């Protein structure tokens, strides 16, 4: 019976990971039942950090390859980020830009939400997106220079996983503002799914960030990512009274920025 249950749990994790990869990336992954609609978020969200293994792994591969080919950690970091953007379709980056445009350009809740739904990129969104991308490239290039591209790539995998677990705080702490879209369909993550996601992210971090830098750096980075998510949640609550998919995407971006900032600081100490 225990073996049967373990087999079912393993199959469930594999199915959830496939669904998470299908929704959050552009990777050619088939869902558990061949459906192309929204995945069952109540279960799938626990596997969100596992997406970071794929997206971070792709970035790590390009970081190592281009750095070794060119001798330039900066070019390696740029190539890594470009590969990550292609793999995810800039899914979370789009959320950051939309949130910045809406919160910066709207004068009331309705107008902010209207701007966030507009696919056009405004000044606030372009500025936020550019700054976030520049910071990530700079941080990864510094890590590659100080640690070597392999260790920096491993740390990047951990950063991708931790930032995704931390960003789940948005859906856990705030109600969906719109009665439509992925954020509404996802609902509020259960406490079990939320904790499970953090455990999965922590385990990934233990096998990536700890060997590359230190356990203390991993813990401090996770705290920084959690604080970033809390800050985004507080801002969204004041601005629109809840959350949208764009807010969740923005949180992931700011969480990874915070995490990378801490890792960079620890390599300087």
Distance between CA atoms of residues 33 and 41, nearest Å? 15
Task: State residue 170's pLDDT score.
Answer: 95
What share of the chain has pLDDT > 90, as a percent?
Answer: 77
- List, in sequence order, the alpha helices (H) in the chain: 2-24, 41-44, 48-70, 73-88, 91-105, 109-117, 123-147, 149-173, 181-186, 191-212, 215-240, 245-268
- Per residue in 98-119, pLDDT (tens digit) is 999 999 999 999 999 999 999 8
User: Is it the case that residue 133 has pLDDT exceeding 70?
Assistant: yes
Lowest mean pLDDT among 9-23, 193-207, 251-265: 9-23
Q: 155 pLDDT band (50/70/90 cuts)?
A: very high
Lowest mean pLDDT among 39-43, 89-93, 258-262: 39-43
Q: How do the domains of the chain map onto residue ranges? A: 52-268
Q: Across residues 255-268, what is the average pLDDT?
A: 98
Task: State residue 216's pLDDT score.
Answer: 98
- Per residue in 171-223, pLDDT (tens digit) is 999 999 987 766 666 667 788 889 999 999 999 999 999 999 999 999 999 99
């Amino acid at each position: 019976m225990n073996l049967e249950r373990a087999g079912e749990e393993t199959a469930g994790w594999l199915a959830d990971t496939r669904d998470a990869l299908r929704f959050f990336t552009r990777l050619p992954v088939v869902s558990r039942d061949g459906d192309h609609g929204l995945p069952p978020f109540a279960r799938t969200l626990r596997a969100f950090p596992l997406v970071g293994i794929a997206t971070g792994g792709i970035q790590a591969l390009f970081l190592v390859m281009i750095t070794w080919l060119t001798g330039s950690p900066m070019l390696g970091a740029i190539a890594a980020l470009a590969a990550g953007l292609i793999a995810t379709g800039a899914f979370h980056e789009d959320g950051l830009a939309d949130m910045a445009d809406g919160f910066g350009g709207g004068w009331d809740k309705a107008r902010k939400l209207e701007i966030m739904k507009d696919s056009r990129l405004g000044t606030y969104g372009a500025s936020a997106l550019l700054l976030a991308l520049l910071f990530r490239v700079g941080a990864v290039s510094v890590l590659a220079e100080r640690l070597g591209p392999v260790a920096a790539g491993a740390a990047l995998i951990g950063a991708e996983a931790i930032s995704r677990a931390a960003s789940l705080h948005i859906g856990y702490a705030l109600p969906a503002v719109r009665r439509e879209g992925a954020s509404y369909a996802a609902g509020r993550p259960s406490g079990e799914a939320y904790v499970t996601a953090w455990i999965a992210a922590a385990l990934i971090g233990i096998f990536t960030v700890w060997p590359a830098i230190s356990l203390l750096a991993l813990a401090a980075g996770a705290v920084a990512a959690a604080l970033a998510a809390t800050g985004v949640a507080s801002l969204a609550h004041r601005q629109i009274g809840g959350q949208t998919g764009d807010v969740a995407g923005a949180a992931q971006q700011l969480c990874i920025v915070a995490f990378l900032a801490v890792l960079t600081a620890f390599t300087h100490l």
